[in-house]
Every structure is written in C-alpha cells, then in structure tokens.
Amino acid sequence: MQVTINVNGEDHSADVEARHLLVRFLRDDLGLTGTHWGCDTSNCGTCVVLMDGEPVKSCTVLAAMAAGHKVRTVEGLEGPDGLDPVQQGFVEKHGLQCGFCTPGMMMTARALLDRNPDPSEDEIREAISGQLCRCTGYLNIVRAVQWAAQHPAAPAEAPAQNAGRAA
C-alpha cells in the first residue's frame, strides 16, 4: 500500500506492506538510520521519534498508522543555525557513551522542553523513564537536558544570540 508520511517537514511516500513498522519506514525506506531499533517487545525506547510533537515508540506504530501525521526524527533536530540545544547539551555534559539510546533520548528531551522549558530533575527522569541506557547511568543524560533547558535556542530572528551555546 502507498503510504505518505511527513518526516522532518517533508512528505515522503513509499509502497509498503501493511505490517511495515514506522521504524522500518524511517530506516529502510528513507535511509534515516538515526532512529534505532533495539527490541521486539516495545520496552527499550531506542526507537522513539516524535509523532505530532509527542514521543512514540516507532517500533509499535505501523507506517500505515502514521500516514498523514507529522514525524520528527533526530535528523530533524539540527536547525539552520547549528545543533539543537539538546544535541549541544549531550556534547557539553557527555550525555552518551556508545550512543545507541541517544537519538531517542534527545527526541524525548526536545518534546519535554517544548512543553515545559524549565523541568525539574524528577520531571526529566520521568520523561526518559521509558528508555533504556546501558552505558551512562542516566546522570549525564539528565545533566544534558538540564544544560539544554538553561540554553534555550535563540529566537529565529536573532541568530546572534547563539553565542550562548558555547558557554
């Protein structure tokens, strides 16, 4: 069946089987391999992308179910002025080691900050509680999100403010 999904702001179509999972559509049909796949039981959360702005596990959504919706992946985080504050936060605070969980963690962090620009540590931990990290012990992921909260993206019309990111 023909499926059209808006991914990172652009419509993409592919002819897929009904059983095709969204994670596969992103990775195999669009070549967006930033979204990872780590389990068959909907538990690990490494496949998290944003669907209509909210985190979902792309291994547990059919591509057909996502048709007509807006999907955002880690490839869509970076803006014209450079890395998203969340990405920069992971750099600044060493929020990753192997990097396998990182795309999902960053998408969840982005959605959290979009709704709640100043989350408490508990709120950050709750937001990422559906996602496993086998490396970091989570502490630096929390710090990375806190860093991003403290360094929000400058409004588009004032790109000079981006200097704050280097702090």
Partner 1 sequence: MQVPAAFEYRRASSVEDALALLETLGEEARVVAGGHSLLPMMKLRLARPEYLIDINDLSDLDYLRVEGGELRVGALTRHRSLLESELVGSHFPIFHDAERVIADPPVRNRGTIGGSLCQADPSEDLSAVCAALRATLVVRGRGGTRAIPMAAFYRGPYETAVGPAEMLVEIRLPLVPHSGSAYEKVERKAGDWAVAAAGAALSLHGGRIGQAGIALAALGAATVNSVRAEQALLGQEPTEQAFAAAGRAAAQDCDPVTDGRGSAEYKRHLADELTRRALRRAADRAAVAALAAGAAGEDG
Ligand X SMILES: Cc1cc2nc3c(=O)[nH]c(=O)nc-3n(C[C@H](O)[C@H](O)[C@H](O)COP(=O)(O)OP(=O)(O)OC[C@H]3O[C@@H](n4cnc5c(N)ncnc54)[C@H](O)[C@@H]3O)c2cc1C
- End-to-end CA distance of the chain: give it in Å, rounded: 49
Give the nearer residue to ligand X in terms of CB position, either 61 or 149. Answer: 61
Candidates 5, 7, 23, 106; binder of partner 1 (CB under 8 A) is: 23
From 41-49, 78-86, 95-103, 155-163, give the range in contact with partner 1 by CB under 8 A: 41-49
71 interacts with ligand FES by CB under 6 A: no
13 interacts with ligand X by CB under 6 A: no
From 7-15, 66-74, 83-91, 95-103, give the range in contact with ligand FES by CB under 6 A: 95-103
Distance (Å, whole) CA 30 – CA 17: 15
101 interacts with ligand FES by CB under 6 A: yes
What ranges in 30-135 are assigned the alpha helix state H? 63-66, 85-92, 102-115, 121-127
Region of 152 on the Ramachandran plot (φ > 0 left; ψ -120 to 50 alpha; else beta): beta
Distance (Å, whole) CA 106 – CA 116: 15
Distance (Å, whole) CA 24 – CA 86: 25
**Binds 62, which of ligand X, ligand FES, partner 1, none (CB < 5 to 8 A, cut-off by type)?**
partner 1
What minimum distance in Å lies between the beta carbon of 145 and partner 1? 14
Distance (Å, whole) CA 13 – CA 16: 9
Which residue has its beta carbon closest to ligand X?
Answer: 42
Amino acid identity, residue 117? P
Candidates 17, 98, 121, 161; binder of ligand FES (CB under 6 A) is: 98
